[in-house]
Amino acid sequence: MEKYQFLMDLVIIILVANIGGYIANRLNQPSVLGQIVGGLIAGPTFLGLVYDSAFITDMSEIGVILLMFIAGLETDVDELKSSGKASTLIALGGVIVPFVFGAAALYFLRPGLDQLEYIYYGIILTATSVSITVQTLRDMRCLKCRSGVSILGAAIIDDVIGIILVTVVTGMVSPAGGASVVWVIMKIIGFFLIAIGIAVVFYKILNKRAEFFNRQRRLLQAALIYCFLSAIFAEEMGVAAIIGAYFTGVVFSTTHFRNQVSHEVQRVAYALFTPIFFVHIGIAVNMPPFTWSLVILSLGLTAAALIGKVIGAGFGAKLSKFSNQEAIQIGLGMMPRAEVALIVANLGLEMGIIGQEIFTSVIVMVLLSTIVTPIALKGAFHIGKLEEVA
């Protein structure tokens, strides 16, 4: 059986994804939520039916990269351009307020820590994880609507800000190992410029040999190579892989291959990889033994993280003349934190900037934010619809 453990894991995950999604839909919740909670229940935290493994982690990594690539392909660039100013304001609000709220909440709950620890915790809260929001917005057919586009735009910007801030802080801690801020920023700008160049070349090749790529799944395989290479290249340049995949998706969405590529990639992604990603979030949680002190810390910090994002991003949206309704939707849509927050927290733990207790609270925050967001977002859109009708 050992040899086929990965296959058994796959079977359980596909089952969990379907059952969880089905129950969530029945309860009028997005299927993503059902898949995450399903993973939490089937995983080591509760039933222990399936454990995290390198294979499942890699498969889910492919899932989130494809998900972001598709989200990029489906982005309406004209809409994004016209929402560029709004996205920037939302991102800035969503970076500054959670940073202040997070650092302050940690100071209130655990006074006397190193100053750097407060700052670093604030930074952990900056980067929004749009994958949950993307899926929820898709379920509600609002991926291309005004709030949806602003959320995605803002999430790209706050990821970049978060990455720059992390580089600054870790650079301060280990001046030898850390890269210079200017160099990091140059690499990020370099990535976006080169990615546009690559997209142009890819488009030209497809266009020139359209007949060749229309046969034998070649378009799909070319798109997968393009998407994966973009993700790898982004990571190499210091930009998160999923941001790279999303961005090249956006660039490619301006070509007339957009719909065909999106359609082909979705077939493969949604069949296997994307459900694995969401179930894996639940599986990967490995809850440590709880103490009341830790519970209070975790809930306090989570509240600061979520409320800070709603207020900050919502305020940015209001400044951009969104309605109250839309500002709340945008604030809620920016709440989830996942991969980037965990990666940053893990780095801080390894470098000794934050302690184990705070790291655990980040896991709780990631979990709660991904569970709460789809419910809250769905509620906010539902109320919006009722008002429209009234």
Please count the CA atoms within 13 angstroms of the CA of 207 that sit on its side-chain side: 10
Name which of 9 and 117 has its Cβ closer to its own copies: 9
Name which of 139 and 159 has its Cβ closer to its own copies: 139
Find the binder of its own copies among 241, 281, 305, 366 (CB under 8 A).
241
**Tokens describing residue 111:** 């006074």
Q: Per CB under 8 A, which of residues 14..33 are in contact with its own copies? A: 14-15, 17-18
Name which of 61 and 74 has its Cβ closer to its own copies: 61
Inter-CA distances, 335 with 130, 181, 279, 309, 314, Å: 9, 27, 20, 6, 11
Q: Per CB under 8 A, which of residues 47..66 are in contact with its own copies? A: 54-55, 58, 61-62, 65
Distance CA 258, CA 224 (A): 13
Dihedral sign (CA 244, 248, 250, 251) = positive
Distance CA 239, CA 241 (A): 6
232 interacts with its own copies by CB under 8 A: yes
Q: Where are the alpha helices (DSSP H) in the chain?
A: 5-26, 31-42, 54-74, 77-82, 84-109, 115-124, 130-139, 146-173, 181-208, 210-213, 218-236, 241-252, 258-268, 274-284, 292-319, 324-333, 339-350, 356-389
The contact mask relative to its own copies for 188-207 (x = CB under 8 A, - = no) is: --------------------
Name which of 80 and 127 has its Cβ closer to its own copies: 127
Name which of 73 and 231 has its Cβ closer to its own copies: 231
383 interacts with its own copies by CB under 8 A: no
Name which of 4 and 108 has its Cβ closer to its own copies: 4
**Closest CA relative to residue 105, chosen from 241, 336, 341, 307:** 307
Torsions phi, psi for 180 (to 5 deg): -75, 150
Name which of 263 and 382 has its Cβ closer to its own copies: 263
Question: Which position has the token pair 């999604």?
Answer: 21
Q: Per CB under 8 A, which of residues 257..286 are in contact with its own copies? A: 267-268, 270-272, 275
The contact mask relative to its own copies for 317-356 (x = CB under 8 A, - = no) is: ----------------------------------------
Find the binder of its own copies among 81, 204, 218, 382 (CB under 8 A).
218
Which parts of this chain interact with its own copies (CB under 8 A)? 1, 3-4, 6-8, 10-11, 14-15, 17-18, 54-55, 58, 61-62, 65, 217-218, 220-221, 224-225, 228-229, 231-232, 235-236, 241, 267-268, 270-272, 275
